[in-house]
């Protein structure tokens, strides 16, 4: 299926094409995906997820990383369910109960609106050095990511994504890295603000636990917030839950008499 770029977290600002192709994975594709998934290596896993999207549409390379983070989640969601709602199982952080939460793409998934001026980039000062920020596409992120995939100096994906926000990594990579890793006080606030602006555009979803979600005195309901993109999806289990078969799909042969 084709997603209009206006419906992506970036709002499609600056794209040279109008839609991007993302389809549900077939049985064979899920099987192959699970076989190849590098479970224990967060960086390799992220590369694998992006390459999974690129295999369907090469223009993913020109998409903003913030959009691709959403598309990784979106592809899983449409693989699991045919009607853009999906039931996921989330442990309650208070009592540990596994809560079933129905997530609807139309009602629960919201992006924080992005301002066009934000998409133009900005000037910042970090560690006493002046920098320009960019909104990284997959292509420009890969230039930064390759270095960390190879040398493993940093294995935290959020930090690598933050480093990719600063222009001229190819020229001043070490200095940028030092200024981000060594940031103190106000510089930390600045880095956090940049992360807020350019990554994680998806609003968290509220989940209410049936055990401890209701305050007994006031009757008030309060839940906990989850970042839906971080939810682990177990494809075959989740497909079974979300797409149950009815009695017409399998008709058993009658046992022969006598
Ligand atoms: Zn609970």
Query: How many angstroms does the Cα of residue 205 sit away from the middle of ligand 1?
Result: 16
Contact criterion met (CB below 8 Å) for 154 and 174: no
Q: How many CB atoms are located within 10 Å of the residue 217 CB?
A: 6
Instruction: Report pTM.
Output: 0.89
Query: How many angstroms does the Cα of residue 96 sit away from the middle of ligand 1?
Result: 6
Per-residue pLDDT of the chain (258 residues; tens, 9 = 90+): 899 999 999 999 999 999 999 999 999 999 999 999 998 999 999 999 999 999 999 999 999 999 999 999 999 999 998 888 888 888 999 999 999 989 888 888 888 878 888 889 899 999 999 999 999 999 999 999 999 999 999 999 999 999 999 999 999 999 999 999 999 999 999 999 999 888 878 889 999 999 887 777 888 888 899 988 777 788 888 888 888 888 788 888 887 776
Query: How many angstroms does the Cα of residue 216 sit away from the middle of ligand 1?
Result: 13
Q: What is the DSSP string of 145-180?
A: HHHHHHH-S---HHHHHHHTTBS-HHHHHHHHHHHH
Contact criterion met (CB below 8 Å) for 84 and 150: no
Query: How many angstroms does the Cα of residue 103 sit away from the middle of ligand 1?
Result: 18
Query: How many angstroms does the Cα of residue 97 sit away from the middle of ligand 1?
Result: 6
Q: Is 99 helix (H, G, I), strand (E, B) or coil?
A: strand
Q: Which of 116, 129, 148 is closest to 10 using CA atoms?
A: 116
Q: Give the integer Cα–Cα distance in Å for 82 and 225.
A: 25
pLDDT tens for each residue of 74-113 = 999 999 988 888 888 889 999 999 999 898 888 888 888 7
Query: How many angstroms does the Cα of residue 174 sit away from the middle of ligand 1?
Result: 45
Q: Is 33 helix (H, G, I), strand (E, B) or coil?
A: helix
Query: How many angstroms does the Cα of residue 153 sit away from the middle of ligand 1?
Result: 39
Query: How many angstroms does the Cα of residue 221 sit away from the middle of ligand 1?
Result: 12
Query: How many angstroms does the Cα of residue 147 sit away from the middle of ligand 1?
Result: 42
Q: Which of 103, 106, 77, 110 is closest to 201 using CA atoms?
A: 110
Q: Give the integer Cα–Cα distance in Å for 69 and 51.
A: 12
């Amino acid at each position: 299926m084709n997603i209009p770029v206006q419906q992506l977290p970036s709002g499609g600002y600056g794209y040279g094409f109008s839609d991007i192709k993302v389809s549900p994975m077939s049985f064979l594709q899920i099987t192959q995906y699970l076989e190849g998934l590098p479970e224990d290596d967060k960086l390799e896993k992220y590369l694998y997820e992006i390459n999974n999207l690129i295999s369907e549409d090469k223009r993913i390379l020109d998409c903003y990383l913030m959009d691709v983070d959403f598309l990784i989640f979106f592809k899983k969601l449409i693989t699991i369910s045919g009607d853009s709602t999906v039931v996921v199982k989330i442990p309650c952080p208070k009592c540990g109960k596994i809560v079933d939460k129905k997530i609807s793409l139309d009602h629960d998934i919201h992006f924080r609106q992005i301002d066009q001026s934000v998409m133009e980039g900005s000037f910042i000062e970090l560690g006493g050095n002046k920098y320009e920020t960019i909104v990284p596409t997959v292509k420009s992120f890969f230039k930064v990511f390759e270095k960390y995939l190879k040398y493993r100096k940093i294995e935290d994906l959020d930090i690598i994504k933050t480093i990719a926000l600063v222009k001229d990594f190819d020229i001043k990579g070490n200095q940028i890295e030092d200024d981000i890793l060594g940031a103190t006080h106000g510089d930390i606030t600045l880095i956090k603000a940049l992360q807020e602006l350019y990554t994680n555009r998806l609003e968290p979803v509220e989940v209410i636990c049936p055990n401890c979600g209701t305050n007994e005195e006031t009757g008030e309901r309060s839940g906990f917030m989850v970042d839906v993109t971080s939810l682990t999806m177990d494809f075959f289990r989740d497909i079974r839950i979300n797409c149950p078969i009815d009695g017409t799909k399998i008709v058993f042969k009658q046992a022969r008499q006598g």
